[in-house]
Amino acid sequence: MSADAAQTGARILVVDDDPGLLDLIEMRLVAAGYAVSCAASGEEALARFRAERPRAVISDLRMDGMDGHALFAHLHAEAPTVPVIILTAHGTIPDAVAATQRGVFGFLTKPFDGHELLAKVAEAMAVSPRVDASAGEDAGWRAGIVSSSLVMEELLRRARRAADADDPILISGPRGSGKESLARAIHAASGRARKPFGVVNCGELAGLKPGSSPLADALASARGGFLLLDDIEELPAAEQARLLPLVREHSLFSSPTLAAAPDIRIVASTTQALDQAIREGRFRADLFYAIGRIALNMPSLADRREDIPALVAAFIAQHHGAERGLSPEAMMMLQEAAWPGNVLQLRNVVEQALALAVTPQVPATLVRRLLREETEREMEALDEARRAFEYDYLVQLLDSTGGNVTHAARVAKRNRTEFYKLLARHNIDPASYK
């Protein structure tokens, strides 16, 4: 088999501490039309990988110093979409299963069969993202985004294109799903990468003293770069009005007559469907249209479970190196959990598990316990919100009925006894509303 025309010249990095085998593999791959880089150790491979950005890696498993597992953890954390094929004389089924669960693309056992090698490499090429010509050779812009799912790859492709424009961007998606990470990646890919990346949490702008404009301050300090307006739906009305001309002018016509507008690219993020905020009069429709000219939607983690092994591997590699890991059963649990808090919650659970486990490999029992505790915490938060709502409701009801319990109970569709019990639970005295 030979590499198809489109793949000719694609670079493959081969890592083995056996020079004879390295030569053999190189010869096979070169004959099939690939460009090949060789490394005799994990450390050398990592350096070559960073410099050359190959489309795929073939690595021996057992090597002195950084072994194949450790090398894979580094590669996967830095470039999760580059397929890694592990070549091993010691390939056992459990090894292979554990490694594939961590995101290894495939296994080849020594002594290798030339046809099998080329078939595996061709499969890897089919899933390996081509280096985007417009992005140059540098894929570093997306280094903070670990993903292997098609839906994320498509989103990143759109994000990369968006980086070249200067229109405002609206990123929507659930809490903790990676909206800010995406905004930072777009900044890194843009011509403004060397300029600041500022973040304003719009929820914190409400109720500030009149005359102060933290938005204006943030615009000034991120001049030339990006400004992320987090939770844009919470931007107070006065600040919405202030933002509108800036966003509009930038997107409709970038003309020199607008020298007064600060040179900045606005990215907004939201966890809500903004149309509801517009219907309720909390958000200006004109601002929504101006800011949403490029709309990117970050999927929830539950909608891209294929990303979970790669994310887990990256979180482990960030803090603990390759000597730590999860048992296959623990990994399966993580892949099946609900993840209402998305990637942020996954990261917290993995970090807690690694901190608490007394063995290098995190057992399933610990992950099960942590997931149960997470669910309990969410339920408590829900109860708390329900209690707060009930209290506000009762107070407003008594206020509007002038403390008339019979009337208030009727409105609340409760009998008087039930209603008195509710009041007692919240320590509310109806007499004080008369």
Ligand X SMILES: Nc1ncnc2c1ncn2[C@@H]1O[C@H](COP(=O)(O)OP(=O)(O)OP(=O)(O)O)[C@@H](O)[C@H]1O
Q: Work out whether 271 is an interface residue with ligand X (CB under 6 A).
A: yes
Q: Does residue 175 touch ligand X according to CB under 6 A?
A: yes
- Binds ligand X (CB under 6 A): choice among 53, 242, 320, 347: 347
Task: Decide if 414 contacts 406 (C-beta within 8 A).
Answer: no
User: Around Cβ 428, how many Cβ atoms within 10 Å?
Assistant: 16
Q: Which is nearer to ligand X, 41 or 345 (CB)?
A: 345
Distance in Å, CB of 210 to ligand X, minimum: 28
Residue nearest to ligand X (CB): 178
Binding positions for ligand X, 282-341, rule CB under 6 A? 311, 314
Least CB distance from residue 89 to ligand X, whole Å?
A: 34
Q: Which of 269, 271, 349 is nearest to 308 (CA)?
A: 349
Query: From residue 117, how far is each of 114, 172, 417 by CA, in Å?
Result: 5, 43, 78
Residue with smaller CB distance to ligand X, 112 or 315: 315
Q: Using the minimum distance from each CB to ligand X, give the nearer residue, 118 or 146.
A: 146
User: In a 3-state reduction of DSSP, which class is residue 271?
Assistant: coil
122-161 mask for ligand X (x: CB under 6 A)?
A: -----------------------xxx--------------
Q: Which amino acid is at 397?
A: L
Instruction: Based on the shown chain and the rule CB under 6 A, indicate whether residue 76 belongs to the binding site for ligand X.
Output: no
Cis peptide before 111 (omega within 30 of 0): yes
Of the residues 35, 96, 158, 181, which one makes contact with ligand X according to CB under 6 A: 181
Least distance (Å) from ligand X to the CB of residue 176?
A: 5
Look up residue 31 and give its two tokens: 């004959």
Q: Smallest gap, in angstroms, from Cβ of residue 337 to ligand X?
A: 15
Nearer to ligand X, 42 or 176 (CB): 176
Instruction: Classify 171 as helix, strand or coil.
Output: strand
The single residue among 37, 88, 101, 177 that binds ligand X, judged by CB under 6 A, is 177
Backbone angles phi, psi at 3, to 5 degrees: -65, 140
Cα Rg, the chain, nearest whole Å: 28
Q: Which is nearer to ligand X, 103 or 178 (CB)?
A: 178
Helix %, strand %, coil % of the chain (to 5): 55, 10, 30
CA distance 102 to 76: 9
Which residues are registered as beta bridge partners of 200?
Answer: 229
- Contacts with ligand X, residue ranges (CB under 6 A): 145-147, 173, 175-181, 230, 269, 271, 311, 314, 343-344, 347
